[in-house]
A and B are shown apart, each in its own frame.
Chain A
Amino acid sequence: MAEAQVNGAAATAPAAAPPSSAAPAAPPVAAGDDKGDNWRFIPPQSVREDQVQNAVNFLSHPKVKNSPVVYRRSFLERKGLTREEIDEAFRRVPDPPSTTSAAPVPAAPTAGPVTAVALPAQTAAVAVVPRKGARWTQVVLAIGVLSAAGAGAAVVTKTYLFPRMKAWLRRIVLDEESSEQKKSRLDVEASKASAALTAATTEMAALVRELVSSRHEERRYFDTVVKSMEAQTREIKLRLDTLIQLQKKGNITSSETNVYKAQVPRDAKDSTGVAFEPARPSSAPYSFDPDRFAPSAKYSEILAMVERGEKPPGIRDVNDKPPNPTQPASNSMLQPKTKPWESHVPSENGASAQPWWRQRDGDAKITENSVKIVEMEDQDTVSSDGAFSASPQIETAGRAWVPPPVPKTILPGVDAAIRHKSPSPVSYPSYDNVHSNGTSTDNAEGSSSSEIRESTSEVTVEEAE
């Protein structure tokens, strides 16, 4: 590139020379033409001062001063400056710009040839100087790049190659043991470790099992002890109560108390006429009837015996193993019966022909809240005989579940209250359905039961919360 510039500069220098040499040649020719009749158009060789001034300004720019001369010249030529003007501008540029433009102008034609000659030399010198400078800067730059590359290479080798080399060398140096030996050693160690681990885990499992079983046994013992304690406290309460009542009634005579005291160690049970719940009205205690209760051993006595290690009497050695473990079950003669909730079964009426377990008290002593059951009785049909008879309703309904008829309530307001229940503030739609199932109409029951059936499939997928 520097050579090209040199060549270019050399080319322009001689090229600059001929035009500049042509320039001085031209005026004499032009001067001669003025006299002669050689009609040749001679371009005015005058130097436009404004152009020159512009060129000077341009060349005075520090950036432009750093650029090669060729570029400056070509730029000025592109701008339409003549060689004269360019040379003049170049002449002026080294000079301080304060020099008047007038001075160079008159000096231009006369100093033209001199300066024109000096200018190429100057430009050549200027061109050479930048060339040399360029070379120098380029050399400096190249040296810098090479040194940086060298430093980078050194760093890379230090960080990557040397450790690899070291490792490779170490492997070669230290790899005296064969690979099989290493493997076998590792296997032995691993098997030892696993054996130790399994032994430890089995010990742990055994310990845990022991702990759990001992905890269970302790818990169960505790439970039985608690039960016996509760039984004893109950008995004590009973005795206290009966004693108080007897005292209240004023029936205590010395003989009776003696009898009572004598009976107490026998641990015969008292009646349960005494209520536990304060809400329930206390009924009169039943007459003390020892014949009513069999003299069976008491619960706490049994426990005490077991604790002592004695066996209570009456335990037989029974063989309850199946004589034929593959004995098939006897043939079933009966078909499974449909459950009441699978198909509606209306309850039976208390007819006189019924067996005692079907007979019901007409005015049963049930509280108002059980009106449902009471009212159901009144709606029932009379059955023909005592045996279990399927009502006509079952036969027609088949296996479809027909909800029971809605019972009428005694109080008039309750009906409306149940039907038009205002939703509670924290309610779920399903909760309301369930809640209203017992008292809603048939249609609602049918639809809500299907709802429930669908939602249970979700339940089975639910995870515990």
Chain B
Amino acid sequence: MPAFKAAFNGYSVEFSPFSETLLAVATSQNFGIIGNGRQYVLQLHPSGGIAELCSFDTADGLYDCTWAEDNEHILVSASADGSVKVWDTALPRHANPIRSFEEHGHEVNSVDWNLVRKDCFLSSAWDDTAKLWAIDAPRSLRTFAEHSYCVYTAVWNPRHADVFLTASGDCTLRVWDVRDPHASLVIPGHQLEILACDWSKYNECVLVSGSVDKTIKVWDVRNPRREMSSLQGHGYAVRRVKFSPHHASVIASCSYDMTVCMWDYMAPEDALLARYDHHTEFAIGIDMSPHVEGLLASTAWDETVYVWQHGMDPRA
């Protein structure tokens, strides 16, 4: 399985919803502490390699990226200087970015495009807020400010156009409806900061959270007092969790223990399906392809991007 060597430390990887060969990778110089950022667009070649299709440089590091769901050219990046950059991959580099939304007061940690209506996207930042945007609106459409610490992740529900989930450093998860200014549900999920969250693609009431306390918890919004399942096995904080687009109960996670793990939370015995330790630094980004079942991509602070099939060795 080929690996791509980036110039900067990798932060996020995302498969394109339109093309099964395109990947977006958000990277930051100097581990994202200080320095530039670069948004890569990579292409998987049938000959067996990953090549850079194009890249965009930014003044500050990039922490997350997301593809648009209604336009195959549009790519959105979350920047450490508080701005949200929108790129058009069909335009030349000098015409990019086509938008720079600068409303957040601190680092934007995640961006996510709406999967149902496909016309808007969310950003969440270290200024304790999440914001709703549309490409053609000059300012944010909504601001959701209820968390009392950094909002690390904001994720849309794949079946409900108005519902999304945020994970925050104030140790809570909040389910929101964009039509309400206040959260619909607050889940005090962990004892330490919650860094990642995702919705189940097949059960619209099930969500997963990953925390600094090294655990991954699966929740049902209809019974939020107690988690459905707690997956333990990571040695350090869990940085990102993603539900599989192909299997209802399969979760992929990556952690500061430099491993990527695959879980099945409904497995009768051990939930851990596989563990991949191909990275040599904090594994920060993980994604599962919606086109090809079992295809995983991960990136880490070791400046590498790996794409491999579940069950096979990424380094092979």
CA distance A324 to B92 in the complex (A): 13
Residue of B nearest to A301 (CB): B30
CA distance A328 to B73 in the complex (A): 12
Q: Contact flags (1/0) for A300-325 with B, using CB distance below 8 Å? A: 00110010000110111111111111
CA distance A314 to B38 in the complex (A): 13
B280 on the interface (CB 8 Å rule)? yes
**Is the beta-carbon distance between B46 and A386 smaller than 8 angstroms?**
yes
**Is the beta-carbon distance between B175 and A459 smaller than 8 angstroms?**
yes
User: Which B residues touch A456, using CB under 8 A?
Assistant: 160, 163, 204-205, 221
B10 on the interface (CB 8 Å rule)? no
**Is the beta-carbon distance between A340 and B266 smaller than 8 angstroms?**
no
Chain A residues 403-459 with CB under 8 Å of chain B are 414, 417-418, 428, 430-431, 434-435, 437-439, 452-453, 455-456, 458-459
**Is the beta-carbon distance between A370 and B264 smaller than 8 angstroms?**
yes
**Is the beta-carbon distance between A312 and B312 smaller than 8 angstroms?**
no
**Is the beta-carbon distance between B184 and A438 smaller than 8 angstroms?**
no
**Is the beta-carbon distance between B275 and A280 smaller than 8 angstroms?**
yes
- Closest Cβ–Cβ distance, residue B172 to chain A (whole Å): 9
B54 on the interface (CB 8 Å rule)? no
User: Which B residues touch A302, using CB under 8 A?
Assistant: 30-31, 33-34
User: Which A residues touch B30, using CB under 8 A?
Assistant: 297, 302, 312, 314-315
Among A302, A439, A458, chain B packs the most CB atoms within 10 A around the CB of A302
User: Which A residues touch B142, using CB under 8 A?
Assistant: none
Please judge, given known A-B contacts A230-B256, A323-B94, A465-B224, whether A460 and B72 are in contact too, CB under 8 Å: no
Q: Contact flags (1/0) for B168-196 with A, using CB distance below 8 Å? A: 00000011010010011110000000000
Chain A residues 196-247 with CB under 8 Å of chain B are 216, 219-220, 224, 230
A-B residue pair count with CB separations less than 8 angstroms = 264
B309 on the interface (CB 8 Å rule)? yes
Please judge, given known A-B contacts A341-B158, A460-B163, whether A230 and B17 are in contact too, CB under 8 Å: no
CA distance A397 to B57 in the complex (A): 43
B52 on the interface (CB 8 Å rule)? no
CA distance A288 to B300 in the complex (A): 20
Q: Contact flags (1/0) for A274-288 with B, using CB distance below 8 Å? A: 011100100000000
**Is the beta-carbon distance between B221 and A434 smaller than 8 angstroms?**
no
**Is the beta-carbon distance between B290 and A340 smaller than 8 angstroms?**
yes
User: Which B residues touch A386, using CB under 8 A?
Assistant: 46
**Is the beta-carbon distance between A372 and B277 smaller than 8 angstroms?**
no
Size category, B interface: 35 or more
- Segment at the B interface, from A45-53, A106-114, A130-138, A352-360: A352-360
**Is the beta-carbon distance between A320 and B58 smaller than 8 angstroms?**
yes
B26 on the interface (CB 8 Å rule)? no
User: Which B residues touch A373, using CB under 8 A?
Assistant: 247, 250, 273, 294, 310-311
CA distance A464 to B138 in the complex (A): 33
**Is the beta-carbon distance between B135 and A369 smaller than 8 angstroms?**
no
Contact among A348, A357, A435 with B307 in the assembled complex (CB-CB below 8 Å): A357
**Is the beta-carbon distance between A347 and B275 smaller than 8 angstroms?**
no
Contact among A296, A332, A461 with B71 in the assembled complex (CB-CB below 8 Å): A332
Q: Contact flags (1/0) for A374-394 with B, using CB distance below 8 Å? A: 001000000000101000000
CA distance A360 to B57 in the complex (A): 35
**Is the beta-carbon distance between B59 and A365 smaller than 8 angstroms?**
no
A364 on the interface (CB 8 Å rule)? yes
CA distance A107 to B141 in the complex (A): 127
Q: Contact flags (1/0) for B57-76 with A, using CB distance below 8 Å? A: 11100000000111111100
**Is the beta-carbon distance between A312 and B34 smaller than 8 angstroms?**
yes
CA distance A62 to B154 in the complex (A): 103
**Is the beta-carbon distance between B95 and A324 smaller than 8 angstroms?**
yes
User: Which A residues touch B301, using CB under 8 A?
Assistant: 299
User: Which A residues touch B311, using CB under 8 A?
Assistant: 360-361, 364-366, 370, 373
CA distance A319 to B236 in the complex (A): 36
Please judge, given known A-B contacts A332-B72, A345-B246, whether A299 and B44 are in contact too, CB under 8 Å: no
Contact among B20, B57, B201 with A316 in the assembled complex (CB-CB below 8 Å): B57
- Closest Cβ–Cβ distance, residue A215 to chain B (whole Å): 10
B85 on the interface (CB 8 Å rule)? yes
Sample 17 A-B pairs with CB under 8 A, ordered by A number. A219-B149, A276-B257, A297-B30, A302-B30, A302-B34, A322-B98, A322-B99, A323-B96, A337-B17, A347-B293, A357-B44, A366-B311, A367-B270, A369-B271, A462-B185, A464-B183, A464-B184
**16 other A-B residue contacts (CB within 8 Å) besides A434-B203, A465-B186:** A280-B275, A294-B303, A315-B36, A320-B85, A327-B88, A327-B98, A336-B69, A348-B293, A357-B307, A359-B309, A367-B273, A369-B271, A372-B264, A373-B310, A430-B222, A464-B184
Which residues on A are within 8 Å of B, measured CB to CB?
216, 219-220, 224, 230, 269, 271-272, 275-277, 280, 293-294, 296-297, 299, 302-303, 306, 311-312, 314-325, 327-330, 332-334, 336-337, 339-341, 345, 347-348, 355-361, 364-367, 369-370, 372-373, 376, 386, 388, 414, 417-418, 428, 430-431, 434-435, 437-439, 452-453, 455-456, 458-465
